[in-house]
Amino acid sequence: MATNAIQTDSGLGRLSEATRKRLQRKARIDVLFERTLFVFAFAVLLLLGAIIASLIASSWPALQRFGLDFFTENRWAANVEIFGALPAIYGTLLTSFIAIVIAVPVSFGIAIFLTERCPGFLRQPLSTLIELLAGIPSIIYGMWGMEVLAPLLRTWFPTVFPAGTGLATAGIILAVMIIPFITAVSRDVINTVPAVMRESAYGLGCTTWEVASQVILPSVKTGLVGGVVLGLGRALGETMAVTFVIGNNLFLNTTLTGQGTSIAALIANQFSESDGTQRSALLALGLILFLITFVVLAIARYLLRNSTGRHA
Amino acid sequence: MNIQTTSLYRRRKLFNQLVMGACVAATLVGFLFLFAILFTLVTKGLSALSPSIFIERTRMSGGGLGNAIWGTVLMTSVATVLGTIIGVAAGTWLAEYGGKGWMAKVIRFINDILLSAPSIIIGLFIYAVVVVPMGNFSGWAGVLSLTVIIVPVVIRSTEDMLRLIPNSLREAAAALGAHRWWIIVRVCYSGARAGIITGILLGFARISGETAPLLFTSLNSNQWNFFRLGDEMANLPMTIYQNMTINAFIPDLVALAWGGALILTAAILILNIAARYFSRQRS
């Protein structure tokens, strides 16, 4: 934009003094406008830098004191100042994994139904409904999990879920939470396939399933995977849907259905009553969570770079 | 047609029906779960609703949610105003000036990461940079953490909407002698207004249900704080959370939490529908 000002200057010889002043002022506004906007855009970069820097700085005391033990110790016992991240990391990864295993087939099923088989009059309402459901705050899912799902699981499968709560319950809740999200992204991605491709496959005599599995899904594979990874990123960092139902057991319990904890749940439960080393250790957990989700989200964005979804 | 091909056709048809049946089943199961949640929310929430819930403040016995609702409305509104200013400005730079440059690409990538970053991390960040230096939990800290969450949403939708404005419009305005900032303000914004408002409304809906970032920033309060954002600020999500956990031994408070959850969800759904209405007006 700086060149703009010079160009206008050189062409102004024939204009009156007043017009020239006016135009020069406008050109200055132009430069100022661009610079101001850029400051705000640059603030986004600073924000990410500040988040990482502040997390590292405030978790440094704990990381320095425990070193690698922080990642290998299998319990989180604040009273004896033993802080092991392993139970929380295990819980975070396992609950997200369970959620993805349940949510992906269901979401793809819904997306295929919506795009390929749904009667015309239902398509728009169901799509809108899915998008609206994706907006329900996560605390609602957590409350429902605690008050409805956990008691149900306890009554129906008392041997598998003696308490109703646990890692698997949290995984199920997360699955229900990310189903609308993955469905909405998948539907958008599938809708980018040109109608011609679909029609030619049908013209060759393919069944709906053959069209979907041989033509549509392969052509938008990366987009679909991107949507799933985005859902995974959401499940990894989810706090409220998990805290209510995960059981808050601070010892490593390498089962699928046992009580456990996750990074986000542990932070939510202990942070406000913590201080000193414990607080620093919790911030170190936050740093770990941020790094995990950063990698996952970066992968998702890389895979989704060609799709035009506008999802959060 | 020989027997072999007929049986192949039959097998393909059967398999197709099986898979499509599974898709329908998935749709039913998915919606069943989501309707079960809405059903619980409405049945448990409606029984707790009464006019006094909006007027009375939160107490350990009885009381309502008035101060919490007010706190949420105030904090999310202030955060939305701040987020709109920052987000629209940054989104405009990305769409109008950044283009395909490396700086714009980096900012876009970082913004996409922030868009889905765990909200509890944002809470920890604001705790470390605002609450610790200030020495106490405050409404302002809550506002800032919500702002950090809404800004990426607004940036994304502003950029997407401005990109939909055809270049010929910008060129026509430039040919008439308009300066670039004037083109952006008068031509681009008026074309993208509906879309940008949609994005802001969606962001507003999203932050009004956020609980995790408020845990260590605004905390909660059972007083009417009105506009005193320097103090701990009551808010609906935190009240629901506390009533369902540390106060869960008091049945009245659990009932209130469900009432609050219903109010919150209804408000968010209405905002989402309003956003959709705006975006439909565009097309």
- Tens-digit pLDDT profile for residues B164-177: 899 999 999 999 98
Q: Is residue B170 part of a domain?
A: yes
Q: Is residue B44 part of a domain?
A: no
| Angle at the Cα of A231 from the Cα atoms of A225 and A237, rounded to 5 degrees | 135
Burial of A306: CB neighbours in 10 Å, binned 0-12, 13-18, 19+: exposed
Chain A stretch 31-50, residues whose beta carbon is closer than 8 A to a beta carbon of chain B: 33-34, 36-38, 40-45, 47-48, 50
Q: What is the mean pLDDT of residues A102-114?
A: 93
More confident site: A15 or A111: A111
Distance between CA A256 and CA A258 in Å, rounded?
6
Question: Can you give the pLDDT at residue B146?
Answer: 96
Question: Can you give the pLDDT at residue A256?
Answer: 83
Q: What is the mean pLDDT of residues A119-138?
A: 88
Neighbours of A4 (CB within 10 A): 14
Whether the per-residue pLDDT at A57 is higher than 70: the answer is: yes
Closest alpha carbon within chain B to A173: B33
Q: Is residue B49 part of a domain?
A: no
Whether the per-residue pLDDT at A42 is higher than 60: the answer is: yes
What does the block give as tokens for B275?
Answer: 């956003």
Kindly determine whether residue B116 and residue A29, on different chains, have CB atoms separated by under 8 Å. no
Q: What is the mean pLDDT of residues A238-261?
A: 87
ipTM, two decimals:
0.90
More confident site: B279 or A203: A203
Distance between CA A63 and CA A177 in Å, rounded?
33
What does the block give as tokens for A131?
Answer: 């998008």
The residue with tokens 């954002």 is B229
Closest alpha carbon within chain A to B10: A207
Q: Is residue B50 part of a domain?
A: no
Chain centroid to Cα A253, Å, comes to 26
Q: What is the mean pLDDT of residues A63-79?
A: 86
Region of poorest pLDDT, from A8-12, A46-50, B228-232, B236-240: A8-12
Of the residues A24, A31, A33, A152, the best mutation for testing chain B's interface (the one with the most B CB atoms within 10 Å of its CB) is A33
Mean pLDDT, rounded, of chain B? 90
Residues of B in contact with A138 (CB under 8 A): 209, 211
Q: What is the mean pLDDT of residues A108-118?
A: 91
Question: Can you give the pLDDT at residue A312?
Answer: 39
- Interface check for A14 against chain B (CB to CB < 8 A): the answer is no
Neighbours of B10 (CB within 10 A): 10
Q: What percent of chain A has pLDDT over 90?
A: 49
Cα of first residue to Cα of last residue in chain A, in angstroms, is 33
Whether the per-residue pLDDT at B79 is higher than 90: the answer is: yes
Whether the per-residue pLDDT at B5 is higher than 90: the answer is: no
pLDDT tens digit sequence for B186-197: 999 998 988 899
Q: Are B258 and B236 in contact (CB under 8 A)?
A: no
Question: Can you give the pLDDT at residue B98?
Answer: 87
Domain with B100, as residue range(s), is 68-282
pLDDT tens digit sequence for B34-54: 899 999 999 999 988 888 888
More confident site: A305 or A38: A38
Contacts of B28 (CB under 8 A, 6+ apart): none
3-state DSSP assignment of residue A15: coil
Chain A stretch 67-126, residues whose beta carbon is closer than 8 A to a beta carbon of chain B: 105-110, 112-114, 117, 126
Distance between CA A168 and CA A98 in Å, rounded?
7
Of the residues A40, A204, A215, the best mutation for testing chain B's interface (the one with the most B CB atoms within 10 Å of its CB) is A40
Whether the per-residue pLDDT at A107 is higher than 90: the answer is: yes
Q: Is residue B6 part of a domain?
A: no
Amino acid at A305: R
Whether the per-residue pLDDT at B204 is higher than 80: the answer is: yes
CATH topology assigned to domain A71-303: MetI-like fold (1.10.3720)
Q: How confident is the model at residue A311 (pLDDT cuts 50, 70, 90)?
A: very low
Domain count, chain B: 1
What does the block give as tokens for B116?
Answer: 């889905």
More confident site: A13 or A172: A172
Question: Can you give the pLDDT at residue A2?
Answer: 45
Query: What CATH number does residue B150 fall under?
Result: 1.10.3720.10
Whether the per-residue pLDDT at A309 is higher than 50: the answer is: no
Q: What is the mean pLDDT of residues A264-277?
A: 88
Question: Can you give the pLDDT at residue A1?
Answer: 42
Partner residue facing B116 (CB), from A108, A140, A234: A234
Q: Is residue B40 part of a domain?
A: no
Query: What residue ranges of chain A are covered by domains with CATH 1.10.3720.10?
Result: 71-303
Distance between CA A266 and CA A89 in Å, rounded?
10
3-state DSSP assignment of residue A204: coil
Task: Tally helices (H) and strands (E) across chain B.
Answer: 12, 0
Q: How far is A166 from chain B (nearest CA, A)?
A: 16
Q: How confident is the model at residue A12 (pLDDT cuts 50, 70, 90)?
A: low
Q: How confident is the model at residue A149 (pLDDT cuts 50, 70, 90)?
A: very high
